[in-house]
Amino acid sequence: MDIRELLAPDVDFLAFGEPAHLESAFARIRNELFAELAGAVTAIALETDRVAALAVNDYVQHGVGDLDTVMREGFSHRFGELDNNRRLIAWMREYNETAERPLAFHGFDVSTEMMNAPSPRTYLEHARDYLGLDHDIAALTGDDERWNRTEAVLKAAESPGATPEADRLRVIADDMLVTLHAGAPMLIAATSRAEWDRARIHLTAGLGLLRYHRQAAEPVDDSARWTRMSAFRDAMMAQNLLDIRDAERGPVLVFGQNRHLQRNESHMRLGPMDMNWSSAGAIVSSLVGERYRLIVGSLGSSKAIDLGEPGPETFEGRLQGRVDEWGLVPARELAAAETRTDTNPMQGYFPLDQATVDGADAILHVTAGTDTQALVLRA
């Protein structure tokens, strides 16, 4: 299967999912794939904080800063420490030095983790300063650590998200967003469209965090609370992707965990909690239809996450024998199979299931010893 079959002229997103963050093969494939498609796609969007990624884009498009700094400060979730991400950013900067149309870099996530979420203070203060307002944001947020500590997510009663101060902050943030749009002609004339966009991105991120913390503070059972937080995070991812689409006006390569990019509903079992919610991919694809194309990553064995060989009746087992011939397998050609059960969910690995396969356009399978560069070129 030629991967360019998925890049029809009217495609907005070519999403490439990985089944686990800890297996580096998929990021290597992503880098090769992006280099192959440069020109056919206009940008890449990774599962990392959108605000932090602005500094990375400044570097790859305009040479602002240096590589060490943007890798340290331009990524969330410690993704700046990954060698394949560093290689990607270095390559993009080199490519853009002579490119007729420079490639853009985006993050489409918010800086939340399973066990914490940051204070909205810095995001709201950026927008306040751009608008020239005098709101005392710090007085309302208080110490940043009260938002960022693990207890604020694990225990609803420990969250600051439902305090009177948080309620006031949400009103202020919403009013600032209206002011930003109402004053767009004058603000852009006085600064630039890029600075206006940057203020909007900061403000929507801060407002999103306030909403996320509000969900963390809901006095409901943990399963319902964590489901709502997961749903809010993916909803924010979806909105970020749609904003990136509007900014780029061309196909964007999107890379992240399968659970965020799949077209079907996401499911995760965490201890006694059973959670189901709409993934970012499910939201975006429902809005743009076939303009969203999806390659789901599949993993056979892996030393990185202590994953042995898959059983022959599983999706991964059936794909094992097809790697040499295909590399990229049309999802419609993969027969029904069992879902793999010999896995440890705490490693962040999610095996293929029927719903995920049915919602994909293609499957890219990686197994131990695969020459990933040859695999991409063959695709």
In what order do the strands lie in the sheet containing 362-366? 104-109, 43-49, 252-257, 13-18, 292-299, 362-366, 328-330
Name the strand (E) or helix (H) holding 228.
helix 222-248
Residue holding tokens 């059936």? 318
Beta pairing class for 362-366 and 328-330 = antiparallel
Is the CB of residue 147 less than 8 Å from the CB of residue 141? Answer: yes
The yes-or-no verdict on residue 325 having pLDDT over 60 is no
Share of the chain above pLDDT 90, in %: 80
Using 50, 70 and 90 to split pLDDT, how confident is the model at 346?
low
pLDDT, tens digit (0-9, with 9 covering 90-100), for 257-289: 999 999 999 988 878 888 999 999 999 999 999
3-state secondary structure of 33: helix
- pLDDT tens digit sequence for 284-317: 999 999 999 999 999 998 888 888 889 999 999 9
Bridge partners, 338 (sequence order): 314
Whole-angstrom distance, CA of residue 258 vs CA of residue 294: 10
Cβ contacts of residue 58 below 8 Å, gap of 6+?
Answer: 64, 65, 70
User: For the segment 234-250, what is each residue's pLDDT rounded down to a tens digit?
Assistant: 999 999 999 999 999 88
Question: Is the per-residue pLDDT at 160 higher than 60?
Answer: yes
Q: Which of 10, 14, 8 is nearest to 364 (CA)?
A: 14
On whether the CB atoms of residues 305 and 30 are closer than 8 A, the answer is no
Task: Give the pLDDT of residue 304.
Answer: 84
Q: Return the higher-pLDDT residue of 115 and 350.
A: 350
pLDDT above 50: residue 376 = no
Task: Say which residues have a Cβ less than 8 Å from residue 148's Cβ, sequence separation at least 6.
Answer: 116, 117, 118, 119
Using 50, 70 and 90 to split pLDDT, how confident is the model at 326? very low
Check if the beta carbon of residue 283 is closer than 8 Å to that of residue 242.
no
pTM for the full model?
0.94
Instruction: Evaluate whether 120 touches 64 at the Cβ level (below 8 Å).
Output: no
Closest CA to 316 of 371, 366, 261, 377: 366
The answer to whether residues 33 and 3 touch, using CB atoms and an 8 Å cutoff, is yes
- Residue of 151 and 370 predicted with greater confidence: 151
Q: In 10 A of CB 115, how many CB atoms?
A: 11
d(CA 320, CA 309): 9
pLDDT in tens, 9-68: 789 999 999 999 989 999 999 999 999 999 899 999 999 999 999 999 999 999 999 999
In this prediction, residue 377 carries a pLDDT of 38
In the prediction, which pLDDT does 378 show?
A: 38
> What is the average pLDDT value for the chain, to the nearest integer?
92
State the CB neighbour count (10 A cutoff) for residue 221: 12
Look at the alpha carbons of 245, 248, 249, 250 in this order and tell me if their dihedral is positive or negative.
negative
In a 13 Å sphere around the CA of 300, the CA atoms on its Cβ side amount to 18
**Where does 82-120 have alpha helices with state H?**
83-96
Q: What angle do CA 85, 75, 262 make, to 5 degrees?
A: 75
In the numeric block, the tokens 């962040």 are attached to: 348
Q: For the chain, give me the number of helices (H) and strands (E)?
A: 17, 9
